[in-house]
Structure 1
Amino acid sequence: MTALTLEDARKGLASQPFSVLLKARVAAFGNGAATLELDIREDLLQQNGYLHGGVLAYAADNAITFAAGTRLGPAILTSGFSIDYLRPAKGIRLVAEARVLHSGRRQATCRCDLLVLGDDGTTTLSAAAQGSVLTRNGPTS
């Protein structure tokens, strides 16, 4: 497998209509890690003014999958993940930093920290996730 580049990752994200809707971007990609970012906007908030948990879950899922892609290649799917919401997400930017904890030929296990950048420049850990990613090699029926 030829190593994927940051530009490959950005093209992959741009091919996902939901990611385009959220205006997510790949900020870093390579060596078993990936960082996904998105600006926190009013239309992504829940009723109490915090970033909606579904947006945090989306970011964790995608960051985990992109991190795994640095080891497994592009033909992959998330097989499952869990997320723990630690603090309400309120700020200007969500940063999902994922890294591969272990990988084999067909599967990778990754962790993702979901950080929120505040107006004052501080970052707060808002959620943590862990998930597994599998290659799509073979039938998917």
Structure 2
Amino acid sequence: MDLDFARKGLASQPFSALLGARLVAFGDGVAVLELDIRDELKQQNGYLHGGVLAYAADNTLTFAAGSVLGPSVLTAGFSIDYVRPGTGALLRAEANVVQASRSRATCRCEVYTVDDDGLQLCAFAQGTVIVTR
């Protein structure tokens, strides 16, 4: 699979399209997903909603795993820790495969927001992705 193929997969996800998510890197056990932070994605205190951070981690973990396992994969489970509120103009999730077999991969992901001060770590996650063949 290449970046264009992976982008088509992302575009086929209605929720990802609703959020305006973009896959900016994909391959060799790595994936990077970005989306613009809009008011509609914030919670009552003006921070990016935790569900959006979790979406970004989940989907990026799965794309990273898919780059080594193939396109027929699903998240089996993941955990996320929030370390600071999400503010800024851009959300960026960077995931990589830590270990993979033929049927599953363990991945980690860092979720950042980008503002005038650069990248700010907001959350980190780890998860397991399985082949669904």
| TM-score (structure 2 length as normaliser) | 0.99
Aligned to 1:107: 104
| TM-score (structure 1 length as normaliser) | 0.93
Q: Percent identity?
A: 62
Aligned to 2:132: 136
Other structure's SS at 1:54 match: helix
Aligned length: 133
Alignment of 1:115-134 (within 5 A): 115-118=112-115, 120-134=116-130
Distance 1:86 1:24 in 2: 22
Tell me which of 3, 6, 9 is aligned to 1:9.
6
Deviation track 1:24-48 (CA, whole Å, cap 9, x = no partner) reads 0000001100000000000000000
Moved over 4 A (4+): none
Q: Which amino acid aligns with 2:122?
A: S
Instruction: Note the C-alpha offset of 1:122.
Output: 1.0
Instruction: Note the C-alpha offset of 1:121.
Output: 4.7
Distance 1:13 1:23 in 2: 10
**Could you say which structure has the larger radius of gyration?**
1
